[in-house]
């Protein structure tokens, strides 16, 4: 990584597509796929595409599921997710449609478990990525908010979104789990529902 005359981090061989319309630099993910599927990981260009306003399903890039409580998010039950609802949740995970939520629940091998949450109001607040400095070692996986001057020194890999006043949706989670078990018995784990 280099720094230009304005102190912005840049690629030595930077191409127009390396920056989004706002001018922030994004990671390049290239090469040939190897290994298994990483269910909770998202290609930077695709994650940025689906985290538009309103965001799209992170798997099929069609409309995410909505009901009267808002759009559906399937999230790992990590320490970053608050235990009391409604609450604001900061995440890089896109929302999901029901088919893909069912498929993710069946196939993602997360040890931490899942929650289903819904919100009617989201804000895209910043990015996650590696922050570079002319004098210090790079810092990976930093949360950088849009108003910070560090936006000029980050190479982003995911948009960060705030789910405002999110509510827990245990009924949908139970239904997805039940559908998933039934689906496995009927069809086996043969492929995503497309
Ligand atoms: Zn979908």
Tokens in use for 155?
């190479």
Q: Give me ligand 1 centre to Cα 70, in Å.
A: 16
Determine which helix (DSSP H) or strand (DSSP E) holds 3, and give its type and residue range. strand 2-3
CA 123 to chain centroid: 13
Q: Give me ligand 1 centre to Cα 56, in Å.
A: 8
Q: Give me ligand 1 centre to Cα 138, in Å.
A: 35
Which pLDDT belongs to residue 111?
Answer: 72
With 0.75 as the threshold, say if the pTM is over it: yes
- Decide: 174 and 105 in contact? Cβ < 8 Å: no
pLDDT in tens, the chain (194 residues): 899 999 999 999 999 899 998 899 999 988 888 888 777 788 999 999 999 889 999 999 999 999 999 999 999 888 677 879 999 999 999 999 999 999 888 887 767 788 999 999 999 999 999 999 989 999 999 999 999 999 999 999 999 999 999 999 999 999 998 876 665 554 444 444 44
Q: Give me ligand 1 centre to Cα 100, in Å.
A: 5
Q: Give me ligand 1 centre to Cα 63, in Å.
A: 7
Q: Give me ligand 1 centre to Cα 99, in Å.
A: 6
Q: Report residue 118: phi and psi, to 5°.
A: -135, 150
CA-based end-to-end distance of the chain = 40
Q: Give me ligand 1 centre to Cα 187, in Å.
A: 19
Q: Give me ligand 1 centre to Cα 103, in Å.
A: 9
Q: Give me ligand 1 centre to Cα 194, in Å.
A: 9
Strand segments (E) across 15-120: 25-26, 66-67, 70-76, 87-91, 114-119
């Amino acid at each position: 990584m280099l720094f230009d005359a304005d102190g912005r981090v840049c690629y030595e061989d930077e191409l127009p597509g390396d920056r989004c319309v706002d001018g922030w630099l994004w990671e390049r993910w290239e090469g040939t796929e190897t290994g298994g599927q990483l269910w909770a990981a998202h290609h930077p260009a695709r994650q940025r595409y689906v985290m538009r306003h309103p965001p799209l399903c992170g798997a099929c890039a069609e409309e995410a599921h909505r009901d009267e409580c808002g759009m559906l998010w399937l999230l790992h039950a990590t320490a970053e997710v608050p235990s009391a609802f409604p609450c604001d949740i900061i995440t890089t995970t896109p929302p999901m449609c029901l088919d893909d939520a069912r498929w993710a629940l069946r196939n993602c091998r997360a040890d931490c478990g899942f929650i289903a949450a819904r919100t009617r109001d989201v804000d895209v607040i910043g990015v996650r990525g590696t922050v570079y400095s002319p004098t210090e070692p790079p810092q990976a996986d930093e949360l950088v908010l849009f108003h910070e001057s560090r936006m000029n020194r980050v190479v982003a890999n995911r948009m960060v979104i705030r789910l405002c006043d999110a509510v827990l949706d245990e009924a949908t989670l139970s239904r997805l789990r039940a559908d998933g078990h039934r689906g496995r018995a009927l069809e086996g784990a043969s492929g995503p529902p497309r």
